[in-house]
Amino acid sequence: MTWNPTTGCDKISAGCKFCYAELMTKRLKAMGQEKYKDGFELRIHNESLMIPYSWKKPKTVFVNSMSDLFHKDVPLSFIQDVFKVMNNNPIHTFQVLTKRADRLANINHLLTWTGNIWMGVSVEDSRVVERIDFLRGCSSLIKFLSCEPLIGPLVNLDLRGIDWVIVGGESGRKSRPMDENWVIDIMNQCNKTNVAFFFKQWGGKNKKAAGRLLNGKTYDEMPTLKLAKFSA
């Protein structure tokens, strides 16, 4: 399930090169979808704020798959409105992912963090590892890294305070390759530090064929132990 109270974005680091949201936006605009009529320009959608109230069964929701909630052009008041919706809908788990970890850190104290909000940062290569420090300082119960698309090695990560790491390769015609050794190294770091490890996919030109086996196994760990402790 995705929920997009904002749409549109700007590229900020190498992980954005083949942005999925930009590609999808082009398609949705071409299909005449009103929400995407301005293409990839950042837009606020007040009308989308009520959507989670209509979901009656518990859902896991990826917030802003078509944008970045912490983009500089999203007003603080609107980010607070989005958080209010998440606070008011505790049956749903909201996963928020950003590349603007510095803004997240700057406004963290102005947001209300309920246990159903999982906060993550994208870490695609070693040039952006400082995002992990910004995330560590934020008040979400669950903190996660999305190392996707992984385009370089991530050695000696500081995983203190991090609960979950997702790794995935880039997919598409021009996708950049992901070295198996990078993935295994991240998995070993997670094992050493007791961080849940989720391997999403190898990606590549034919992501279905490439699959998601690592060492002949799937890795689908979730940060559930911490959640169980929280709700106990």
State yes or no: residue 101 binds ligand SF4 (CB under 6 A). no
Q: Contact 166/147 with Cβ under 8 angstroms?
A: yes
Let me know the angle formed at the C-alpha of 6 by 4 and 8, rounded to the nearest 5 degrees. Answer: 110
Which C-beta is closer to ligand SF4: that of 167 or that of 187?
A: 167
Tell the smallest beta-carbon distance from residue 5 to ligand SF4 (Å).
14
Encoded tokens for 194: 């007791």
Which C-beta is closer to ligand SF4: that of 35 or that of 226?
A: 35
Whole-angstrom CA distances from 53 to 6, 114, 201 are 17, 16, 32
Tell the smallest beta-carbon distance from residue 8 to ligand SF4 (Å).
8
State yes or no: residue 19 binds ligand SF4 (CB under 6 A). yes
Tell the smallest beta-carbon distance from residue 132 to ligand SF4 (Å).
16
Member of 1, 12, 105, 141 binding ligand SF4 (CB under 6 A):
12
State yes or no: residue 105 binds ligand SF4 (CB under 6 A). no
Which C-beta is closer to ligand SF4: that of 67 or that of 95?
A: 67
Tell the smallest beta-carbon distance from residue 12 to ligand SF4 (Å).
5
Tell the smallest beta-carbon distance from residue 98 to ligand SF4 (Å).
8
Which C-beta is closer to ligand SF4: that of 121 or that of 162?
A: 121
Tell the smallest beta-carbon distance from residue 78 to ligand SF4 (Å).
17
Interface positions, 45-74, toward ligand SF4 (CB under 6 A): 67-68
Which C-beta is closer to ligand SF4: that of 124 or that of 163?
A: 124
Member of 5, 21, 44, 138 binding ligand SF4 (CB under 6 A):
21
Interface positions, 121-160, toward ligand SF4 (CB under 6 A): none
Of the candidates 141, 133, 119, 145, which has an alpha carbon nearest to the alpha carbon of residue 200? 145
What burial class does residue 109 get, using C-beta atoms within 10 Å of its C-beta: 0-12 exposed, 13-18 middle, 19+ buried? exposed
State yes or no: residue 27 binds ligand SF4 (CB under 6 A). no
Tell the smallest beta-carbon distance from residue 154 to ligand SF4 (Å).
18
Sites of contact with ligand SF4 (CB under 6 A):
9, 11-12, 15-16, 19, 21-22, 67-68, 99
